[in-house]
Amino acid sequence: MKCAVITGANGFVGRAVTRSLLDRGVFVYAIDLQQEAAIPHENLAYICCDVANIGTAAESIQKAPDVFFAFAWAGSAGPYRADYALQLNNAKYNSDCIVFAKNIGCSRFVGAGSITETETFEAVRAQGNKPALPYIYGAGKAVAHEIGKCVAAGLGIDFLWAYITNAYGPGESSPRLLNTTIRKLLSGEAAEFTAATQLYDFVYINDVAEAFCRIAESGRPFHEYTIGSGGAKPLRVFLEGLRDAVSPGAALHFGAVPFTGIDLAPEVFDIASLTRDTGFVPKVAFSEGVVRTAAWIAGDGQI
């Protein structure tokens, strides 16, 4: 891989993958809505562009990239997860990016999915279950995945898809679970949860970036890979470990919030195929990752 295009290059995951590619000596066309690149670099060409108008970026791409990474996705956290128009547009733009990738001579497309796709499938199809509105986000990802795979096959471009379990680490400012919990613990706020018996997995952002690079380099076309730590546990175990690392002795209020989700089976979190095909092995332990994240929030981040 000598040249890559990344949409959402200034976002949490996109920024990490961009940095990892640059460290590998890859030339990067970084596309994002912001006016300036988050990581200025001599091997990075920044293109300010909305993926809704991705075609306008073509004139700025002077050489054919080997891989197109699609990370641009509006409303990945917070109340916008329930905005069906926004999430459907995201799915459409994903396919637009596949067409664009083909048009600029790229032969390989790597999409960023979510383990929420699987959870959404189970929640929506369970008889009598009333799926919560945020599952619209998972449905949007699933639509992007399934339509995108068909579009890529029709165009003759390799399609690879990664299910991210739960990425975390310095640089994230969204209201997602670990980020919010660390902020509450540091500020002394009450931290309330469900009984937290459902299986979860968390993977540090540097490991996420490494996994995406390896998928791009040696993943098998038209295959899906789960990016995680490979050590799924009940959510409560992770939260207690976070508390012990960040604010020992702080109270965690389990059972204070009703659980309306779906329990996922252990095999959903399996990263064996990712390791087998790409050699990926996570490096950052959860205890180390949350300490790094808390230090960033307490210092450079905003509490």
pLDDT of residue 260: 84
Give the CA dihedral 235, 240, 241, 242, nearest 10 degrees.
90
Contact present, 135 and 85 (Cβ < 8 Å)? no
The dihedral built from the CA positions of residue 166, 171, 176 and 182, taken in this order, carries a sign that is positive
- Averages of pLDDT over each 10 residues, the chain, 303 residues: 97 97 98 93 97 97 96 94 98 98 97 96 93 96 98 98 97 91 94 96 98 98 98 97 95 94 94 98 97 91 50
Q: Could you give the CA distance from residue 226 to residue 214 in angstroms, rounded to a whole number?
A: 13
Q: Which domains does the chain have, with CATH numbers?
A: 3-164 (3.40.50.720)
Q: Could you give the CA distance from residue 76 to residue 134 in angstroms, rounded to a whole number?
A: 10
Q: Could you give the CA distance from residue 70 to residue 212 in angstroms, rounded to a whole number?
A: 11
Terminal alpha carbon distance of the chain = 39
Q: Residue 167 is encoded by which pair of tokens?
A: 């990425």
- Exposed, middle or buried, 171 (CB in 10 Å: 0-12/13-18/19+)? middle
Contact present, 194 and 254 (Cβ < 8 Å)? yes
Strand-pairing partners, residue 109, are 68, 159
Give the CA dihedral 237, 139, 92, 3, nearest 10 degrees.
30
pLDDT of residue 302: 52
pLDDT of residue 261: 85
Which string of DSSP letters, residue by residue, matches 13-35? HHHHHHHHHHHTT-EEEEEESSS
Predicted structure pTM score: 0.96
pLDDT of residue 173: 86
Task: Say which DSSP state 254 is in.
Answer: T
User: What residues contact residue 299 under an 8 Å CB cut-off, 6+ apart?
Assistant: none
Furthest-apart CA atoms within the chain: distance in Å: 57
Q: Residue 144 is encoded by which pair of tokens?
A: 């992007």
